[in-house]
Amino acid sequence: MQATNQISTISIIGSGNVATALGLALSQSGLKVVEVFSPNIANSKLLSSKIGCNYVESIEKLNPNSDLYIIATPDKEIGNVSSKLKNVVGAIAHTSGSESISVFSSFSNNYGVFYPLQTFTVDNVVSFNDVPICIEGSNEKTIQLLKTLANNISNNVVVINSQQRQLLHLAAVMVNNFSNSFYDMAHNILHENDIDFSLLHPLIKETANKIDKVIPSNAQTGPARRNDVDTINTHLELLNKHPEYSKLYRLMSNQIIKKYHD
Amino acid sequence: MQATNQISTISIIGSGNVATALGLALSQSGLKVVEVFSPNIANSKLLSSKIGCNYVESIEKLNPNSDLYIIATPDKEIGNVSSKLKNVVGAIAHTSGSESISVFSSFSNNYGVFYPLQTFTVDNVVSFNDVPICIEGSNEKTIQLLKTLANNISNNVVVINSQQRQLLHLAAVMVNNFSNSFYDMAHNILHENDIDFSLLHPLIKETANKIDKVIPSNAQTGPARRNDVDTINTHLELLNKHPEYSKLYRLMSNQIIKKYHD
């Protein structure tokens, strides 16, 4: 893929998981990420060295002539950051799943959202090829600019509005954050009993891969799906030492039983 | 792989998800599955035709000379089924994650457990190559017999006791059944709003694949991990129409916040 002629220079604000993943993907696709700013100077230095660009020590020192400023900060800082970018000529975009596009409306004419629907952890490189990138823009020009940028790193670019993005983010929290939290509880239970967690890897992967062929409601198996109360009670006894896990086990099972057996 | 010389003939009792997956895997590996029995005659016929073996219409009609009887029924029927097998010479094994091996102790000398740690849905063929098969046996001879059988279809055979198996099954319920239930909730929320669920596929797969490289507690991301109360409240508002989802969202988020921020 080659750099778009619409965007020559990009500034990145933020140095966390999303800023890192996106900064690397954009620069590796041939786009020119010129600088990074983050209040966390150590992270900022690290990311700029990975990308091979500058870092600046205050937001006021950002190049005022970049074509695009990507704000990959915690949601609550987006408003504050964008207020400091009100004199730049280039477009401004945030990467948040939940923050409305309207956060920018007082500070810019050309603004939008560039939301990669994926989970990122620093040090775990993710291929962007099939990561859905959800675009929103204040005007057609900005939408096209962000779409062109997104097409440079992904084959899965969609234009959606802020409410659709919020719903997608909510759904993403359920399938990623909550599933991973159950992986963690399972990890703890097995670790406490000297059982190798990697025995669960094939099951975890099959659970995820099955969705290509079977919708989730048809893929449901297990004691709650069968309304197998004896096994559920056995598991609740095993969870005696973990009252919070037990509470979640009970609620999840009730949710499944209600769906399939009421 | 070739058939073990220790087991020439296998009878399968049951015709559900596990019986189907296992019956097919064993017969395809070259082992001789001679017959199927299940009180559900239609399923029994279907499975026997897939395997290319007989089906019998009552448990009393099972061949009394099979080397192994695999009981892949609901847990609560295992005791009853095995009581009717007390005169057979061959070994008896169940495939349950939760039922103790001792369910067989009144009915046989050579008995055990053959538990494939995977989720099976009829019509979704799963490769057994890396499926952990958890073996337990009443004596060394039966353990060796079941291990040999398991090695015929999987490269991941472990010998564990009933309590370890129960804990693994509990953990499996968490990572599979509960994750899938969250996939289903996400599916419903997106479907209600005409948003394509397949946009979540790359995220779901990355969540599962990440466990090869990152332990779950380090892979946790999202609003609760960041203690981002504004986003959590936005999501809870979006879940107004689904009070049960809302309750689960709140509890899961609290569990994550407590782990990382208390």
Residues of chain B positioned with their CB less than 8 A from the CB of A169: 231, 235
Residues of B in contact with A255 (CB under 8 A): 181, 244, 248
User: Are B184 and A117 an interchain contact pair (Cβ–Cβ within 8 Å)?
Assistant: no
How does residue A3 score in pLDDT terms, banded at 50, 70 and 90? very low
Structure confidence at residue A125 (pLDDT)? 81
- Between A and B, how many residue pairs show a Cβ–Cβ distance under 8 A? 316
**pLDDT at position A122, please?**
74
**CB pair distance less than 8 Å for B179 and A177:** no
Of A69-73, A95-99, B122-126, B174-178, the poorest mean pLDDT is in B122-126
| Closest alpha carbon within chain B to A232 | B170
What ipTM was estimated for this complex?
A: 0.93
Give the per-residue pLDDT at B2.
Answer: 40
Are A69 and A13 in contact by the 8 Å Cβ rule? The answer is yes
**What token pair was written down for A233?**
């009670």
Which chain B residue has its CA at the smallest distance from A218's CA?
Answer: B121
Give yes or no for residue A1 having a pLDDT over 70: no
Note the pLDDT of residue B3.
41
The 3-state secondary structure of chain A reads CCCCCCCCCEEEECCCHHHHHHHHHHHHCCCCEEEEECCCHHHHHHHHHHHCCEEECCHHHCCCCCCEEEECCCHHHHHHHHHCCCCCCCEEEECCCCCCHHHHCCCCCCEEEEEECCCCECCECCCCCCCCEEEEECCHHHHHHHHHHHHHHCCCEEECCHHHHHHHHHHHHHHHHHHHHHHHHHHHHHHHCCCCHHHHHHHHHHHHHHHHCCCHHHHCCCCCCCCCHHHHHHHHHHCCCCHHHHHHHHHHHHHHHHHHHC
Q: Of B124, B187, B202, which is closest to A130 when you measure between CB atoms?
A: B202
The alpha carbon of B136 is separated from its chain's Cα centroid by a whole number of angstroms, namely 16
Where b means 16+ CB within 10 Å and e means fewer, A103-120 reads bbeebbebbbbbbbbbbb
Give the model's confidence band at A6: pLDDT under 50 very low, under 70 low, under 90 confident, else very high.
Answer: confident
Taking 50 as the pLDDT cut, the residues of chain B under it are: 1-5
* Token digits of residue B128: 């057994």
The pLDDT score that the predictor gives to residue A2 is 40
Mean pLDDT of A25-36: 95
**B41-77: b or e for each residue (b if 16 or more CB lie within 10 Å)?**
eebbebbbeebebbbbeebeebbeebbbbbbbbebee
From chain B, the residues in CB contact with A75 under 8 A are 228, 230-231
**d(CA B238, nearest CA chain A) in Å:** 7
Separation between Cα atoms, residue B157 and residue A54, nearest integer Å: 52
| Chain B residue at shortest CA distance from A203 | B118
Query: Given a cut of 50, is residue A4 above it in pLDDT?
Result: no
CB–CB contact B221 A248 (8 Å): no
Q: Is A42 exposed, middle or buried (0-12, 13-18, 19+ CB in 10 A)?
A: exposed
Residues A76, A27, A72: CA angle, nearest 5 degrees: 0
Task: Please tell me the predicted confidence (pLDDT) of residue A57.
Answer: 95
∠ CA(A14), CA(A18), CA(A20), 5° rounding? Answer: 70
Domains assigned to chain A:
10-160 (3.40.50.720), 166-261 (1.10.1040.20)
Looking at beta carbons, which residues of chain A come within 8 Å of B255?
181, 244, 248
> How many C-beta atoms surround the C-beta of residue B168 within 10 A?
28
Q: What is the pLDDT of residue B8?
A: 86
**B200/A172 touch (CB, cutoff 8 Å), yes or no:** yes
d(CA B26, CA B128): 10
Instruction: Indicate whether A5 pLDDT > 60.
Output: no
| A-chain residues near B258 (CB < 8 A) | 244
Q: Is the dihedral of CA A16, B246, A214, B38 positive or negative?
A: positive
CA distances from B142 to A33, A132, B22, B104, B161 (A): 64, 51, 19, 13, 14
- % of chain A residues with pLDDT over 70: 98
User: pLDDT (tens digit, 9 = 90+) per residue, A220-236?
Assistant: 999 999 999 999 999 99
Per-residue pLDDT tens over the stretch A135-163: 999 999 999 999 999 999 999 999 999 99
Find the CB nearest B132 among A199, A220, A252. A199
Cβ–Cβ contacts within 10 Å for residue A75, how many?
20
Contact residues on chain A for B252, CB-CB shorter than 8 A: 177-178, 181, 248
Predicted confidence at residue A126, as pLDDT, reads 84
Which of B133, B157, B184 is best to mutate for the A interface (most A CBs within 10 A)?
B184
Please count the other Cβ atoms lying within 10 Å of the Cβ belonging to residue B161.
12
B-chain residues within 8 Å CB-CB of A157?
none
